[in-house]
Amino acid sequence: MDYTALKIKVTDIVSQSGLLCEDKLLKICHLLRDSIDYYDWVGYYFANHERRELVLGPYAGEATDHVVIPFGKGICGQVAVSNQPFLVEDVAAQDNYISCNIQVKSEIVVPLFVAGKNIGQIDIDSNVKAAFTADDQQFLEEINQMVSVLFV
């Protein structure tokens, strides 16, 4: 997998003028899902700190019922509280997992920081157990760093 080529494409998307932020994020979600075979669902959730919940933003993949997730609930909700990436090799082994699709076997969630504040996260599901590695985490942290300029 060529993470470098994907990062160049993400940089190009982020820098496109005339596109709304949501459209750029949607293009990035589709790019990642279409380019990495074990990225079966890719989406962004954004934090509403006053209500202590995450709200679904742009995504690529099957529709989900989880459009609002309370802080602390599920993998995404835990990342909203911990501010740390969370890589889950086997979602069935997680007590606090929210099932979006019975096909999902593993998940990675990486927070999105702007000026040191967690404003949301990228959430990726895979239908393959133990699909994600430390390389995926580093790659997604870099993607989120590129995306963060959209919110400054």
pLDDT tens track for 113-139: 999 999 999 999 999 999 999 999 999
**Please, is 144 exposed, middle or buried when counting C-beta atoms within 10 Å of its C-beta (0-12, 13-18, 19+)?**
buried
Residue type at position 14: V
Question: 24: which strand partners?
Answer: none
Model pLDDT, residue 97: 65
Q: State the pLDDT confidence band at 105, using cuts at 50, 70 and 90.
A: very high
All residues at 6 or more sequence positions from 35 whose CB lies less than 8 Å from its CB, including other chains: 1, 6
- Does the pLDDT at position 96 exceed 70? no
Looking at residue 95, its pLDDT comes to: 73
Is the domain spanning 3-151 CATH 3.30.450.40? The answer is yes
The whole-model pTM stands at 0.95
d(CA 108, CA 5): 21
> One-letter amino acid identity for 72?
G
DSSP string across 107-135:
EEEEEEEETTEEEEEEEEEESSTT---HH
**How are beta strands 117-126 and 41-48 bridged, if at all?**
antiparallel
Q: What is the pLDDT of residue 47?
A: 97
For the ranges 42-46, 50-54, 95-99, the lowest mean pLDDT is seen at 95-99
pLDDT score of 152 more than 90? no
| 52-73 pLDDT, tens digit each | 999 999 999 999 989 999 999 9
Q: Is 43 helix (H, G, I), strand (E, B) or coil?
A: strand
What pLDDT is stored for residue 121 in this prediction? 98
Average of per-residue pLDDT across 101-114: 92
Torsion of the alpha carbons at 38, 97, 142 and 67, rounded to the nearest 10: 90
- 3-state secondary structure (DSSP) of residue 117: strand
Residues 62, 128: contact at Cβ < 8 Å?
no
